[in-house]
Amino acid sequence: MTSRYRPNEPTSPVPLDVLSLLMRSEEARVAEIVRQLSGGQRAALAVYCFARAHMRSLGLQIARHCEGRTLVAVGGPMGQTMADQVESGEAFDVGPYQHGKRKVTLARFAA
């Protein structure tokens, strides 16, 4: 009998203990860890992390240690975006609309 459960998210390209170590590590330690991975594994991990909002900065840190063509081969358009951001040095979360948010107010018309 086969299991009907199928996760709707791809599995991590590295063991979960390595992923959790990367999430807790400083940038220098992240570089040390990812240098031990193959180029394809690094690119797959970068794309995996970049696709998740809470790990996007980690994905870019890992992408700095990948070749652009490998990122594109593994991640397609997302890999191209990552390669462009790494090359330009632009932060992933900086955008033109951050300063224009309206403040939240509580009931103005209380009786």
pLDDT tens column, 3-44: 666 666 778 899 999 999 999 999 999 999 999 999 999 999
Alpha helices by DSSP H, listed for the chain, are 16-24, 27-34, 39-50, 56-63, 68-75, 77-88
- Going by C-alpha positions, the residue among 74, 53, 101 that lies closest to residue 63 is 74
Q: What is the pLDDT of residue 89?
A: 81
What pTM was estimated for this model as a whole?
0.74
The Cα–Cα gap between 84 and 78 comes to 10
Q: What is the pLDDT of residue 3?
A: 60
> What angle separates helix 56-63 from helix 16-24, to the nearest 10 degrees?
90
Q: What is the pLDDT of residue 92?
A: 58
DSSP 64: T
